Amino acid sequence: MDSLSLSGICRHQFSPITMLNFNQSNHRMEKAGFVRKPEKGGLTITQVASPLRRPVIVPSLDNETVDRRDRNHVAWTSVRQERWEGELVVQGEIPLWLEGTYLRNGPGLWHIEDYNFRHLFDGYATLVKLQFENGRLIAGHRQIESEAYKAARKNKKVCFREFSEVPKYENFMAYVGDIANLFSGASLTDNANTGVVKLGDGRVVCLTETQKGSLVIDPNSLETLGRLEYSDSLGGLIHSAHPIVTDAEFLTLLPDLVNPGYLVVRMEPGTNERKVIGRVNCRNGPAPGWVHSFPVTEHYVVVPEMPLRYCAQNLLRAEPTPLYKFEWHPESKAFLHVMCKASGKIVASVEVPLFVTFHFINAYEEEDEDGRVTAIIADCCEHNADTTILDQLRLQNLRSFNGKDDLLPDARVGRFTIPLDGSPYGKLESALEPDEHGRGMDMCSINPTKLGKKYRYAYACGAQRPCHFPNTLTKLDLLKKKAKNWHEAGAVPSEPFFVARPGATEEDDGVVISLISEKNGNGYALLLDGSTFEEIARAKLPYGLPYGLHGCWVPKE
């Protein structure tokens, strides 16, 4: 769910830690502590980080930039300042084997001056880091310095086309000029607020659905280093926001809006050149379906053709429609195409029941007794073919929740079965009973060693109802068809990200990392045991961060 254009408790007392405000405004030095108030059923502090070796930066509220009219849940409130870094006090114990940096990207600034953005996906990107070393935790965040963000700050207005936002035109000729720039890509945002990936050559790149929104960042300082300029001549303006990235390759889809279809491309580590594996032509509809993500198996790429299709007319509008850049075309049906990675040959193209998904979870090859591949199984977070989830993510809706009405549209783990015997139809079923996870489902991660292979566990955001947004962390057991849920009242957790323990032999041997936004305006980093799904550590942030989207793991070198 992301941006598209044209796309504790113990007897010990801790001394206050002096924290330095690093904001550019004239904020005073402050003193503050990270002592958590005793709570019923709370944690006992079994480890406290050693004394700080660097100042902790915390904002003063004197010149807070947040629009106070939108002071609701911190998850939907703009980040308080452009950058922050400091060491956190840990309640519980961080495993000593956890050495590296978790990076989480997402929209974090939803206003410019007095103007408030419409949609969750419009926000300017805020990159967060949790750096783990020897049981200690350094946290920080920083705005990604895209051209769109810098131009908005300089001109005090939106200057590029975001998910639902467009520049405000002074006259008709300015609008005409913007339309011309739209077709060249010049007016499209490079606001890389969707995901962050580590390439096989070590570069860390933040992404969105515009190709120009591929920005290289420093995973330690979070500094924006520049744009990833693709050196090929493939052209196009948009790509899948979620490429498949391993140490060996970078795979993505390039939708063709003119001659409806998709190019499947690969980029090798150490290069900026994407090479075409093959092309899939759309089976139906006026335009390709939205391809926010896609799955792969060991030998195949699965290309989804969803009836939620790109719409050129909506792309040109100055005001958004309920489906924004898309149109729902149920009459065009839905399809899944399977392409061989090695040859680019399409080995299956099947019609499937109508579906709506932002995120595929994983896929694998089903074999018979003789080892022959008979079908592809592909799992996704499926919204019961209901497009209303898009408009439900308007900030007005998220901020106005009263805690009583059950407003979140139903979702499930949708399991596609794609036969490879020439059959024209595939199946779409629930991989487990949706009530196991509260009929809410999105933002999944798996053990990366299971990418493209048969797997058992996934970690996601589910629902404890009534709610208007996923509000639990959920461990899915797709073999036993059961789920285990973590929930705290009023908390909004971000994507649960699984990090495997080095040398582990069990699929769920590791930790799950999430950043939690609390209703009272606070927030914390949370670690759960990947196997038991019990809390093992948390670390309070100096202030709550807004909701974020997707992350990656950068191991310590």
557 Cβ contact partners less than 8 Å away, ≥ 6 residues apart: none
What is the spatial distance between Cα 223 and Cα 216, in angstroms, rounded to a whole number?
Answer: 9
Least Cα distance to 497 among 483, 509, 512 occurs for 512
Q: Is 111 annotated as a binding residue?
A: no
Do the Cβ atoms of 193 and 217 come closer than 8 Å?
no
Q: Is 330 left (phi over 0), alpha (psi -120 to 50) or beta?
A: alpha
The terminus-to-terminus CA distance of the chain in angstroms comes to 31
Quick one: tokens of 516? 């939690």
DSSP string, 494-553: ---EEEEPTT--STT-EEEEEEEE-TTS-EEEEEEETTT--EEEEEE-SSPPPP---EEE
Q: Is 359 annotated as a binding residue?
A: yes
Least Cα distance to 127 among 84, 163, 158 occurs for 84
The widest CA-to-CA distance across the chain, in whole angstroms, is 72
Beta strands in 228-299 (DSSP E): 244-245, 250-256, 261-267, 274-281
Q: Is 27 annotated as a binding residue?
A: no
Do the Cβ atoms of 346 and 283 come closer than 8 Å?
no
DSSP string, 298-366: SSEEEEEE-SEEE-HHHHH-SS--TTTTEEE-GGG-EEEEEEETTT--EEEEEEE----EEEEEEEEEE
Q: Is 185 left (phi over 0), alpha (psi -120 to 50) or beta?
A: left
Integer Rg of the chain from CA? 23
Cα 209 from chain centre: 12
The single-letter code of the amino acid at 249 is E
The burial class, CB within 10 Å (0-12 / 13-18 / 19+), for 43 is middle
The burial class, CB within 10 Å (0-12 / 13-18 / 19+), for 557 is exposed
Quick one: tokens of 288? 């390709």
Residue numbers in the known binding site for Fe cation are 242, 292, 359, 550
Binding site, residues? 242, 292, 359, 550
